Structure 1
């Protein structure tokens, strides 16, 4: 199975929100990716830079991430998809932040590492549309 990526436009942030978030208001509809993850010990947010809701208080924020979205719907029976992708990138010393949804996976890389990441993935046969 040949995987195809779509490079989402713009830069993204990965943030840890302060405190708990019982109700999280959405001030604007996200254009591409907006992920809010709540666990018993943290609340994490991934969204476009400039898309952090005004009501959110960030305890920590990492800026300037780019997003590679795996195109299409990934069946739950597929094995090793992220392992192969992260293996390619880790062999080049490229750090990632991975995010999965019901349908697909997203690979976030720092903007400064994007050219090397895209080159490494393409060298392994992955197709990336920009």
Structure 2
């Protein structure tokens, strides 16, 4: 397997719900007028608590400076695990369960914080730029590590880390945060960027103005309906994560969906954001196709599972 260090230098920020009107101009430009910017990596996620923005340095310049924009105190780099080489759009992606075992867990054992973003196309592992030497040293025995430079994939240089690592003993990580599952059923989908103008008004309403509709199939045995929507535009590819009620507002012929119509359930970890502390994976859209999440994978805020699967905490 190959681990690609992508060119994007990213900022991770959050905005309170009541403050989002201050940023809609820049966010709309990043989402719908990308040809007018130099941004190549943009993701906006609405959760019940706030909006999370992941954006490269060029896109970050489109956002106003404001005390209402909380920015993580680090620059983040995006890593991509692929099989067979090539770009993330043409290579065979590696499942998230494998990523959790082969990438996230070893980094957690070295107290290296990780932020994971899954899209319709692939999965990105975000690490702090200052941690990159330790990341490559930790993973070099399992991966061929390559770096994308000016669009070309080249061998990553030796970053000179030789000391300070002790292989940790294998211990079981307890689940220390409560788990809950909202009633929503979610789909992970995409659309052709050429059709974006046809649904731009609807997308803006969903992203900034709509409070969502409760799932009529919800029962009294769950945690109720929550508000969650994610839009990503990364290297020209669009990814959307939404519940089925929101999906029904879109023309059915525009969204890319699986032939099986597979839906996902969400597992929320903890009742509040867990932050970026060591041994902690911060994941907004973490898919686990096998339906049996590892305990290492249950240390981030949100996890998506197939709706037909029943997660075992």
TM over 0.5: yes
Q: How many residues align?
A: 124
1:1-130 mapped onto 2 (5 Å cutoff)? 2=1, 4-19=2-17, 21=20, 24-27=27-30, 28=37, 30-31=39-40, 33-52=41-60, 53-54=62-63, 58-62=68-72, 63-71=74-82, 72-74=91-93, 78=95, 80-84=97-101, 85-123=103-141, 125-130=142-147
Distance in structure 1 (CA, Å) of the matches to 2:138 and 2:143: 9
Instruction: Choose between structure 1 and 2 for higher RCO, CA contacts under 8 A separated by at least 6 residues.
Output: 1
How far does residue 70 in structure 1 lie from its aligned partner after superposition?
2.5
Q: Which has the larger radius of gyration?
A: 2
Give secondary structure in 2 for the equivalent of 1:9: strand
TM-score under structure 1 normalisation? Answer: 0.79
Cα distance in 1 for partners of 2:121, 2:146 equals 19
Can you list the C-alpha shifts for 1:63-106, whole angstroms capped at 9, x where unaligned? Answer: 3111112233437xx46223211111111111111111112111
Q: Which runs of 5+ in 1 are unaligned?
A: none
Check the 8 A contact 1:25/1:55 in 2, yes or no: no
1:39-73 Cα offsets, whole Å, 9 max, x none, are 23211111112422235855310131111122334
Change (3 A) 1:40 1:110: same
Could you say which structure has the higher strand fraction?
A: 1
User: Which deviates further from its counterpart, 106-115 or 52-61?
Assistant: 52-61
| Residue 29 (structure 1) shift | 5.1
Point out where structure 2 has 5 or more consecutive residues left out of the alignment: 31-36, 83-90, 148-313
User: What SS class does the counterpart of residue 51 from structure 1 fall into?
Assistant: helix
